[in-house]
Structure 1
Amino acid sequence: MMMRTSTFRQRLVSSISALAAGLVVASTAGAAWAAEVADALDALSRDTVVSERVSLKALGITTPISLAGIDARYDVYLPIPADVPLQSPNLSLDARYLRGDGGRTTFVVYLDGSAVSARSFRSDEGNAGLDIGVDSAARPGGFVRLGLAWSSSVARELCEEARTIGDILEVSPDTYLDYSYDASAVTTISSAWTALRQDVSLLIANGTLDRRSYDTAWRLGLALERAGKRVQITKLPAVGDTIDLNGIVVPQGLRTVPAFAALVGEGRHTIASEAEIGALLLLGPPSLRPRVAVSDDALSSQIKTAIDALGSQVLQVDPEAQEGFSALIRSRGKLEADQAHEVALSHLSGRPVIVVEPDAGAAAAGLFDTLWRATAQAQRLIVNQVQPPVIGGNIVPLGDLTGAAGNIDLLDRGQWSASIDLASALADGKVPDEINLQVSAAPGATDTRPVVSVFFNDYLLGASRLDAHGQPERIKVRVPDYALLPRNVVRVDFRRQPSSNHCRETPSSFPAAVLPDSYLTLGPAPAARDFVGLLPRLSGGASLFVPEQWLSRPAETLSTIIHIADAGGVSPERARIEFAAAAVTPTEPFIAFDTAVKGSSDIVQVDGDRLILSDRGGRVFYDVAGLRDVAVVRSATGVAGSPPGLIYQSIGQQTLQVAEPFRLSRGNLAVLGPRGVLVHVDTNAPVVDKDAASPLDTIAQFKPEDLTGVARERPALFWGVLGVVVALFLIVLLRARRARRRSDQRQ
Structure 2
Amino acid sequence: MRSYLDGSRAALRVLLCVSLFLFVQPAFADIGDRLEVTEGTTSLYAGPSSAASRLMAINAGEQMVEMERQGAWVFVSLKRSGDQGWILASQVRKATQSNVRAASAVAEAPRINLPVAQPAAKKELKKESAKKASRQARVVEPEVLPVAMEQASSVKILPPPVNAQPEGAFATHKVSLEDLGFRKGIMFEGATVSHAATFFFPAPLDSRITNGTLRLMFRASPDLHEFANIRISINDTPQKQVLLPGDGGMHEVDVLLGPSAFHGKLVKVTVSAVLPMSDDRCFDDRLSNIFLHIMPESSMAISYQPLAESIRDAWRLLPHKVTISLSEGVLSNEQFASTLAVMSILADEGKKVEIVRLPVMGDIVVAPKAALEGMMANGSLRDDKGEPIGPAGKPLDQVSNLALATFANRTSVVVTDPFDVQPMYLLDDNWKMLGAGDHYRVYRPDNLRAHGGLLGTEGEAGFYSLPLTTLGMNVDARYITREVSWQTVISPYALPLGTEPDFLNLEIVAPVRWKDDPDYELYVFLNDILVKSARLADNGMKQHFTVGLPSEYQKQFNEIRVVIQHDIETGDCHGVMPHDYVQITPDSNLVVKKESTLAPAKFSDLSRYFQTGFDTYLDKNYLSHPDKALHLLARLAADFPLVIDHNRLHFVDSTERLSPEVPFVAVGSLGMADDVEAPVRFDRGHVRIQSPKGESYFDVSELSKVTVAEIVKAPFAYGLWVTPSDNADEEVRDRLELTTDNVAFIDSLGVIKTLDSSEPSLAQVYYPDAEDWFDVLGKYRFWLMALLWFLLTMVIVYIYRVAQTNKRARMEDETFYREEEVRVHGDAAAHMVSIDDIAPTDSLDHLDQKR
Fold match (TM-score > 0.5): yes
- Contact 1:391–1:425, Cα closer than 8 Å, also in 2: no
Partner of 1:435: 504
Segment of structure 1 superposing worse, 531-540 or 659-668: 531-540
Deviation string 1:318-354 (CA, Å, 9 cap, x unpaired) is xxxxxxx98x522xxx553634xx6556656544737
The answer to whether residue 750 in structure 2 is matched with residue 676 in structure 1 is yes
The answer to whether residue 586 in structure 2 is matched with residue 522 in structure 1 is no
The answer to whether residue 146 in structure 2 is matched with residue 86 in structure 1 is no
User: Over the residues paired in the alignment, what is the CA RMSD in angstroms?
Assistant: 4.0
Partner of 1:113: 236
- Contact 1:610–1:623, Cα closer than 8 Å, also in 2: yes
Secondary structure of residue in 2 paired with 1:206: coil
Percentage of identical aligned residues? 18
Partner of 1:577: 649
Deviation string 1:608-654 (CA, Å, 9 cap, x unpaired) is 9964236999997532554242111111134xx42111111134475
Partner of 2:397: 336
Return the offset for 1:482: 2.6
The answer to whether residue 661 in structure 2 is matched with residue 587 in structure 1 is yes
Partner of 1:184: 307
The answer to whether residue 683 in structure 2 is matched with residue 622 in structure 1 is no
The answer to whether residue 291 in structure 2 is matched with residue 168 in structure 1 is yes
The answer to whether residue 288 in structure 2 is matched with residue 214 in structure 1 is no
Partner of 1:309: 378
Partner of 1:27: none
Return the offset for 1:389: 4.3
Query: Following the alignment from structure 2 to structure 1, what is the Cα–Cα distance between the partners of residues 343 and 691?
Result: 35
In structure 2, relative to structure 1, the CA distance for the partners of 1:210 and 1:304 (3 Å cut) is same
- Contact 1:199–1:229, Cα closer than 8 Å, also in 2: no
Query: Following the alignment from structure 1 to structure 2, what is the Cα–Cα distance between the partners of residues 525 and 305?
Result: 58
In structure 2, relative to structure 1, the CA distance for the partners of 1:138 and 1:167 (3 Å cut) is closer
The answer to whether residue 636 in structure 2 is matched with residue 564 in structure 1 is yes
Query: Following the alignment from structure 1 to structure 2, what is the Cα–Cα distance between the partners of residues 172 and 115?
Result: 21
Query: Following the alignment from structure 1 to structure 2, what is the Cα–Cα distance between the partners of residues 457 and 384?
Result: 26
**Residue of structure 2 aligned with 1:596, choices 642, 654, 671:** 671
The answer to whether residue 592 in structure 2 is matched with residue 536 in structure 1 is no
Question: What letter corresponds to residue 494 of structure 1 in structure 2?
Answer: I
- Contact 2:499–2:592, Cα closer than 8 Å, also in 1: no
Query: Following the alignment from structure 1 to structure 2, what is the Cα–Cα distance between the partners of residues 207 and 498?
Result: 70
The answer to whether residue 549 in structure 2 is matched with residue 549 in structure 1 is no
Query: Following the alignment from structure 2 to structure 1, what is the Cα–Cα distance between the partners of residues 396 and 350?
Result: 22
**Residue of structure 2 aligned with 1:667, choices 741, 750, 775:** 741
Secondary structure of residue in 2 paired with 1:659: coil
Deviation string 1:522-570 (CA, Å, 9 cap, x unpaired) is 3306542222333321233011110111111123321111222334322
Query: Following the alignment from structure 2 to structure 1, what is the Cα–Cα distance between the partners of residues 393 and 171?
Result: 17
In structure 2, relative to structure 1, the CA distance for the partners of 1:610 and 1:653 (3 Å cut) is farther
Query: Following the alignment from structure 1 to structure 2, what is the Cα–Cα distance between the partners of residues 611 and 65?
Result: 44
Higher Cα radius of gyration: 2
Query: Following the alignment from structure 2 to structure 1, what is the Cα–Cα distance between the partners of residues 564 and 623?
Result: 52
Question: What letter corresponds to residue 78 of structure 1 in structure 2?
Answer: F
The answer to whether residue 183 in structure 2 is matched with residue 59 in structure 1 is no
Return the offset for 1:161: 5.8
Deviation string 1:672-692 (CA, Å, 9 cap, x unpaired) is 0102101111121399xxxxx
For 1:353-432, list aligned pairs within 5 A. Answer: 353=413, 355=415, 358-362=418-422, 364-365=424-425, 368=428, 370=430, 387-392=449-454, 394-395=463-464, 396-402=466-472, 404-422=474-492, 424-426=493-495, 428-432=497-501
Higher RCO (CA 8 Å, separation ≥ 6 residues): 1
Question: What letter corresponds to residue 77 of structure 1 in structure 2?
Answer: F
Question: What letter corresponds to residue 580 of structure 1 in structure 2?
Answer: V
Return the offset for 1:484: 2.7
- Contact 1:669–1:680, Cα closer than 8 Å, also in 2: yes
**Residue of structure 1 aligned with 2:518, choices 439, 444, 448:** 448
Query: Following the alignment from structure 1 to structure 2, what is the Cα–Cα distance between the partners of residues 399 and 64?
Result: 27
- Contact 2:508–2:582, Cα closer than 8 Å, also in 1: no
- Contact 1:486–1:567, Cα closer than 8 Å, also in 2: no
Return the offset for 1:214: 1.3
Secondary structure of residue in 2 paired with 1:534: helix
- Contact 1:110–1:148, Cα closer than 8 Å, also in 2: yes
Partner of 2:711: 635
- Contact 2:451–2:496, Cα closer than 8 Å, also in 1: no
Secondary structure of residue in 2 paired with 1:553: coil
Query: Following the alignment from structure 2 to structure 1, what is the Cα–Cα distance between the partners of residues 446 and 563?
Result: 42
**Residue of structure 2 aligned with 1:137, choices 252, 260, 268:** 260
The answer to whether residue 242 in structure 2 is matched with residue 148 in structure 1 is no
Query: Following the alignment from structure 2 to structure 1, what is the Cα–Cα distance between the partners of residues 323 and 623?
Result: 19
In structure 2, relative to structure 1, the CA distance for the partners of 1:86 and 1:501 (3 Å cut) is farther
The answer to whether residue 577 in structure 2 is matched with residue 510 in structure 1 is no
Return the offset for 1:427: 5.7
**Residue of structure 1 aligned with 2:720, choices 640, 646, 655:** 646
In structure 2, relative to structure 1, the CA distance for the partners of 1:406 and 1:610 (3 Å cut) is farther
- Contact 1:225–1:566, Cα closer than 8 Å, also in 2: yes
Query: Following the alignment from structure 1 to structure 2, what is the Cα–Cα distance between the partners of residues 497 and 653?
Result: 55
In structure 2, relative to structure 1, the CA distance for the partners of 1:601 and 1:88 (3 Å cut) is same
Question: What letter corresponds to residue 558 of structure 1 in structure 2?
Answer: L
Query: Following the alignment from structure 1 to structure 2, what is the Cα–Cα distance between the partners of residues 574 and 484?
Result: 29
Residue-pair matches, total: 560
Give the TM-score normalised by structure 2.
Answer: 0.58
- Contact 2:692–2:760, Cα closer than 8 Å, also in 1: no
Segment of structure 1 superposing worse, 604-613 or 511-520: 604-613
Return the offset for 1:307: 1.6
Deviation string 1:115-174 (CA, Å, 9 cap, x unpaired) is 333333564434432233223325344333333333233556666964633543222222
Where structure 1 has 5 or more consecutive residues not aligned to the other structure, the ranges are 1-45, 239-276, 282-287, 314-324, 375-382, 688-747
- Contact 1:93–1:171, Cα closer than 8 Å, also in 2: yes
Partner of 1:257: none
- Contact 1:204–1:233, Cα closer than 8 Å, also in 2: no
The answer to whether residue 350 in structure 2 is matched with residue 229 in structure 1 is yes
Query: Following the alignment from structure 1 to structure 2, what is the Cα–Cα distance between the partners of residues 619 and 366?
Result: 53
Partner of 2:530: 460
Return the offset for 1:472: 3.0
Partner of 1:702: none
- Contact 2:602–2:739, Cα closer than 8 Å, also in 1: no
- Contact 1:635–1:647, Cα closer than 8 Å, also in 2: yes
Query: Following the alignment from structure 2 to structure 1, what is the Cα–Cα distance between the partners of residues 692 and 604?
Result: 19
Question: What letter corresponds to residue 659 of structure 2 in structure 1?
Answer: T
Secondary structure of residue in 1 paired with 2:632: helix
